[in-house]
C-alpha cells in the first residue's frame, strides 16, 4: 500500500512541477487522465512486485504505450477488448468484426511493444510482464 501511495504522490507532483515550469501538465500527444495512469501503473505493479524499480518500469510502460496509442483510440480499443471477453449474443459483434479486432489488436501490440521497451529480458524479472 505504501508503494501505491508513493505512486500517486509521484505522479501528482510530476504534473504540478510541469505546470509550475510554465508547461502544460499534459500535452496534446499525452491526453491520458491521471487516474487512468495511476490505475495502469498500480495494476502493472501488482502483477510484478511493489518495489521502486518496478514503479519506474511500469511508469515507463504506460508512457511508451501512450506514445503509440492516442487516448481516444485507447478508450475505444479497451472497450472493445472488454466486450470481446464477455459472454452472450451481445458480445458477438465485438468478437466477429474484423475492424474491431484490429483496433483491439492495435492496443495489445502497443502494450507488448511498451513492455519490451521497459522490461527488457535482462531485467530482474526476466522481461516477464504479468508474472510475479
The larger pLDDT score, comparing residue 102 to residue 8, is at 102
pTM of the entire structure?
0.66
Q: What is the pLDDT of residue 30?
A: 64
For residue 51, pLDDT beyond 70: yes
CB 117 within 8 A of CB 64: yes
Contact 65, 114 (CB under 8 A): yes
Contact 107, 100 (CB under 8 A): no
Distance (Å, rounded) from C-alpha 22 to C-alpha 75? Answer: 29
Determine how many CB atoms are found less than 10 A away from the CB of residue 30: 14
> What is the spatial distance between Cα 18 and Cα 89, in angstroms, rounded to a whole number?
47
- Residue 91: what pLDDT? 84
The answer to whether residue 78 scores a pLDDT higher than 80 is yes
Which residue do the cell numbers 475505444 mark? 76
Amino acid at each position: 500500500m505504501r508503494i501505491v501511495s508513493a505512486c500517486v504522490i509521484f505522479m501528482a507532483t510530476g504534473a504540478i512541477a510541469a505546470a509550475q515550469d510554465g508547461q502544460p501538465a499534459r500535452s496534446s500527444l499525452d491526453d491520458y487522465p491521471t487516474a487512468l495512469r495511476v490505475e495502469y501503473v498500480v495494476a502493472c505493479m501488482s502483477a510484478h512486485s511493489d518495489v521502486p524499480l518496478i514503479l519506474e518500469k511500469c511508469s515507463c510502460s504506460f508512457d511508451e504505450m501512450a506514445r503509440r496509442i492516442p487516448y481516444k483510440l485507447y478508450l475505444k480499443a479497451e472497450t472493445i477488448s472488454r466486450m470481446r471477453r464477455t459472454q452472450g449474443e451481445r458480445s458477438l459483434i465485438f468478437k466477429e468484426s474484423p475492424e474491431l479486432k484490429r483496433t483491439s489488436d492495435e492496443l495489445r501490440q502497443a502494450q507488448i511493444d511498451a513492455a519490451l521497451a521497459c522490461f527488457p529480458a535482462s531485467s530482474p524479472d526476466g522481461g516477464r510482464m504479468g508474472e510475479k
